[in-house]
Structure 1
C-alpha cells in the first residue's frame, strides 16, 4: 500500500497560496519598476526645463513665464511620482514578507510529510521483515522427534 499523506489537501492549498504570493510579488515589482522609470523620465524633463530657464537670453517674458509654470508642474509631478515609488516599494516589501511567510508554512508541511513518509517506509520495512522471519521460522522448523 503506497504512502498517503493525510494533510495533502492542506499542503496543496498552501502551495496555491505560495504561488499567489509569488504572483503578487512579481506584479508589485513590475509596478514599482514602471513607477521608477516614470519618475526618472519626469526628473529628466524637469532638468531639461531648468536648463532652458538658465538660458534667459534666448526667451522673452511670456515664454519664461510659461517655462516656469511648466517646471513648477513638473516639480509637482516629480514629488507625486516619488511618493508613488515609495508606496510601491513598501508594497513590494509587504509582498516579499507575505511570500516568505507562505513559503515557511508550506515548508513546514513538506517537512512533516517527509518525516511521516520516512516513518511509514520504516514501518513497512519492519512489517516485511517480521513476515519474512515468520515464514523462515515456519519453513525451516526443526523436525520433531
Structure 2
C-alpha cells in the first residue's frame, strides 16, 4: 500500500500563491488607473486642439476675447502637463506592480518545482519499497514451497 506524500512546505506554497494573487490584483488596479489617466490626457489633448482650432478662421477678436482665449489655452496646457506627469507616475507604478508580480510568481514556481521533485523522489522510493516487499514475499513463498 502506497504511502501518502506530504510536502512540508505546503503552507508556505499556499501563502506564496496568495501573495501572487494579491500582486495580480494590485497590478490590475494600477493598469485600470493608468488607463483612466490615459483617457484623461487624450481628452485634454483633444480639448486643447479644438480650442486652438476655434481661433482659426476668426479674424476679428476683441482684446478681452483674445485674453480669455489665451487664459483658457494656458489653463488647458497646464492641466495637460499635470495629467501627463500623473500618467508617467502611473506608468511607473504599473511597471513596479508587474515586476512584483513576476517576482512573486518566481517564488511560487520555485516551491512548486521543489514540491514536484520531492514528490517524484517519494514515489520512486515508494515503488522501490513495494518492489522489495513483493520480492521478499515471493522469496518466502518459494522457500516454503507454496509455488
Q: Which moved more, 1:46-55 or 1:128-137?
A: 46-55
Cα shift at 1:53: 2.5
Distance 2:45 2:144 in 1: 96
Residue segments in structure 2 that go unaligned for 5+ positions in a row: none
The equivalent of 2:25 in structure 1 is 23
Distance 2:55 2:82 in 1: 22
The equivalent of 1:95 in structure 2 is 97
The size of the alignment, in residue pairs, is 143
Relative contact order, CA 8 A, sep 6+: which one is greater? 2
Distance 1:3 1:34 in 2: 48
Q: Give the ranges of 4+ consecutive aligned residues of structure 1 lying more than 6 Å apart after TM superposition.
A: none
The equivalent of 1:116 in structure 2 is 118
TM-score relative to the length of structure 1: 0.94
Matches within 5 A, 1:34-49: 34-49=36-51
The equivalent of 2:77 in structure 1 is 75
Question: RMSD of the alignment, in Å?
Answer: 1.2
Residue segments in structure 1 that go unaligned for 5+ positions in a row: none
Cα shift at 1:67: 1.5
TM-score relative to the length of structure 2: 0.93
SS at match of 2:143: coil
